[in-house]
Structure 1
Amino acid sequence: MRPEYCATRNHIEVWHDRVLPPGPEQIGFGTVLRGSLLPILVWAGVACLVYFLYNPVAAMALGGLFVLSFLVGFGLRRRAKHSIRCSIYGALGGVLDKCLAGF
């Protein structure tokens, strides 16, 4: 993979396409977060709900699931020869995208 194409919209899919630039160009971390605002709010809402309904250990388990999913996505992207930056952005965008796949 050529480094100049690694952090492009072709390799980092975020939940809402409307925040992405019109063509293949590098995007920033803020764009990934802005495009994934709804999934971030869902993760945070579920974590808060679990914290208050059950206990902090259950919320920590949910956070651990998020971190585990992120690490697996990061590892798969690194194995596919993506750059570290692309792997971080792609793993975050992938976790947030897949958690709301049913909506």
Structure 2
Amino acid sequence: MRAEHCVTRNHIEVWHERVLPSGLERVRFWVVLRGSLLPILVWTGVACFAYFIYGPAVAVAIGGLFALSFVVGFGLRRRARHSVRCSVYGALGGVFDKSVGGF
């Protein structure tokens, strides 16, 4: 895959599509985070709730689940010959997207 086409709207999907640029252009990390505010709040809220109710071990387990999902998504994208930047953004956006699919 050519580097100039990797970090585009076609390869990075964030949960809230209204923050994406209208055409094919580079997507910045802030756009990925801004488009994923609800999933970030859900992950943070669940981890905080688990920490206060069940203890820090459960919150760490939830963080580990997030990290594992991110690593698997990153690995799959790298195997498909995406750039490192595209793989990071896409894996992060993918975890957020799939984690709140029911909303």
TM tier, smaller: over 0.9
Instruction: Within 5 Å, give how 1:2-81 maps onto structure 2.
Output: 2-81=2-81
Q: Following the alignment from structure 2 to structure 1, what is the Cα–Cα distance between the partners of residues 33 and 61?
A: 23
5+ residue gaps, structure 2, are none
Would you say how many aligned residue pairs link Structure 1 and Structure 2? 103
1:64 Cα deviation from its structure 2 partner: 0.1
Q: Find runs of 4+ consecutive structure 1 residues off by over 2 angstroms.
A: none
Q: Following the alignment from structure 2 to structure 1, what is the Cα–Cα distance between the partners of residues 87 and 95?
A: 12
The C-alpha deviation readout for 1:36-80, integer Å capped at 9, x for no partner, is 010000000000000001010000000000000000000000000
5+ residue gaps, structure 1, are none
1:2 Cα deviation from its structure 2 partner: 1.3
- Backbone CA RMSD of aligned residues: 0.4
Normalising by structure 1, we get a TM-score of 0.99
Normalising by structure 2, we get a TM-score of 0.99
